[in-house]
């Protein structure tokens, strides 16, 4: 039996409640993976409509997975039963693990963690799914920064196997080990990295996307051509502009701004076209239009 099989078995036997905060693109994907792995799962969002929408999207995802034969209907039913909406943050009092996936804004996240700190049990593991904000900075908002770390899932969560496990300056080794077991139990592959702006994936990926936007703005090539060359010439499954639409152009812009500000190097300057598109409300797939148009 592999280490991963053992972790999965122990998760199935576990009754650790996992609270996921934010029912947007990432939060609902994380909640899906966590519920499917056997954890009682609570999903909370400050916006009731977003919570209801997130739950409806999950319902459809489970129906489709069953129709396509990817999930047994009994497993889908069990996962659906395990996932419950949380009516308020006070439900964090029952959580063993909290995963935050709200807007990529340090002030909003710090405020949430301060609030959570007064509610969660002392033994709780606190994690942020931030793409680029310093884990060490977020951890400073809580009394026990040793129990705080980054769990950086990738979009779409049910499909992509990687979770960057981000060790902040004050994260305890026991917390890292607990997180490794939890992530393996979800059937994902954890890779431990140290806290630094953008960690590894976004530090490498986002400047490439930003460069593709600059190429588009400068007229080096059209959007389809830029995406085509990167698919055929670099073996990328998706071109950088289509990938930006998938991630969300607002999320891409936030990450570039963080890299620029926190690393202090102008090579991370966000492409002005990216900022203009966000100003225009063209946020990518989630809004129906980004570099491409999507049927909603």
Binding residues: 22-27, 45, 104, 109, 131, 155, 286
Question: Which of 147, 202, 210, 289 is the catalytic position?
Answer: 202
Query: Binding to ligand NAD by residue 102, rule CB under 6 A?
Result: yes
Candidates 18-26, 117-125, 217-225, 230-238; binding stretch for ligand NAD (CB under 6 A)? 18-26
Question: Residues with Cβ < 8 Å from 97, sequence gap 6 or more?
Answer: 16, 17, 18, 19, 39, 124, 125, 127, 182
What distance in Å separates the CA atoms of residue 198 and residue 195, rounded to the nearest whole number?
8
Query: Binding to ligand NAD by residue 149, rule CB under 6 A?
Result: no
DSSP output for 118-135: TTS-TT-EEEE--SSS-H
Nearest approach, Cβ of residue 61 and ligand NAD (Å):
15
Question: Which of 36, 100, 164, 289 is the catalytic position?
Answer: 164
Query: Binding to ligand NAD by residue 103, rule CB under 6 A?
Result: yes
Q: Which two tokens stand for residue 38?
A: 């056997």
What distance in Å separates the CA atoms of residue 125 and residue 86, rounded to the nearest whole number?
18
Q: Which of 101, 116, 127, 209 binds ligand NAD (CB under 6 A)?
A: 101
Tokens 């908002």, residue? 141
Query: Binding to ligand NAD by residue 47, rule CB under 6 A?
Result: yes
Q: Which two tokens stand for residue 79?
A: 């996962």
Q: Report the binding-site residues for NAD(+).
A: 22-27, 45, 104, 109, 131, 155, 286
Query: Binding to ligand NAD by residue 204, rule CB under 6 A?
Result: no
Residue 131 is a catalytic residue: yes
Residue 14 is a catalytic residue: no
Candidates 99-107, 182-190, 220-228, 237-245; binding stretch for ligand NAD (CB under 6 A)? 99-107
Residue 164 is a catalytic residue: yes
Question: Which of 131, 134, 147, 210 is the catalytic position?
Answer: 131
If DSSP codes are grouped into helix, strand and coil, which group holds residue 100? strand
Query: Binding to ligand NAD by residue 131, rule CB under 6 A?
Result: yes
Say if CB 120 and CB 92 are below 8 A apart. Answer: yes
DSSP run (H or E) holding 18: strand 18-21
If DSSP codes are grouped into helix, strand and coil, which group holds residue 84? strand
Residues binding ligand NAD: what is the number (CB under 6 A)?
25
Query: Binding to ligand NAD by residue 247, rule CB under 6 A?
Result: yes
Query: Binding to ligand NAD by residue 22, rule CB under 6 A?
Result: yes
Helix ranges (H only) for the chain are 3-13, 25-36, 48-67, 73-82, 106-117, 135-139, 173-185, 201-217, 223-234, 240-247, 249-263, 272-279
Query: Binding to ligand NAD by residue 206, rule CB under 6 A?
Result: no
* Interface contacts to ligand NAD, rule CB under 6 A: 21-27, 45-47, 50, 101-104, 108, 112, 129-131, 154-155, 247-248, 251
């Amino acid at each position: 039996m592999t280490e991963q099989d053992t972790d999965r078995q122990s998760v199935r036997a576990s009754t650790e409640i996992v609270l996921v905060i934010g029912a947007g693109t990432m939060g609902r994907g994380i909640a899906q993976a966590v519920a499917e792995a056997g954890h009682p799962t609570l999903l909370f969002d400050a916006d009731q409509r977003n919570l209801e929408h997130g739950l409806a999207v999950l319902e459809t995802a489970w129906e489709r997975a069953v129709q396509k034969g990817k999930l047994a209907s009994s497993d889908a039913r069990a996962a659906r039963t395990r996932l419950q909406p949380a009516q308020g943050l006070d439900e964090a009092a029952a959580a063993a693990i909290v995963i935050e996936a709200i807007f990529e804004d340090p002030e909003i996240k710090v405020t949430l963690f301060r609030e959570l700190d007064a509610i969660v049990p002392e033994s709780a593991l606190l994690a942020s799914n931030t793409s680029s904000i310093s884990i060490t900075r977020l951890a400073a908002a809580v009394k026990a920064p040793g129990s705080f770390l980054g769990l950086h899932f990738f979009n779409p969560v049910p499909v992509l196997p990687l979770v960057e496990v981000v060790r902040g300056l004050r994260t305890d080794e026991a917390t890292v080990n607990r997180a490794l077991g939890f992530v393996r139990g979800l059937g994902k592959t954890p890779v431990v990295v140290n806290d630094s702006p953008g960690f590894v994936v976004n530090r490498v990926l986002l400047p490439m996307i930003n460069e593709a936007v600059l190429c588009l703005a400068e007229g080096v090539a059209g959007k389809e051509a830029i995406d085509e060359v990167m698919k055929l010439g670099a073996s990328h499954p998706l071109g950088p502009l289509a990938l930006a639409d998938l991630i969300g152009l607002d999320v891409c812009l936030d990450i570039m701004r963080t890299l620029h500000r926190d690393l202090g190097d102008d090579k991370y300057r966000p492409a002005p076209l990216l900022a203009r598109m966000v100003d225009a409300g063209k946020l990518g797939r989630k809004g129906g239009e980004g570099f491409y148009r999507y049927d909603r």
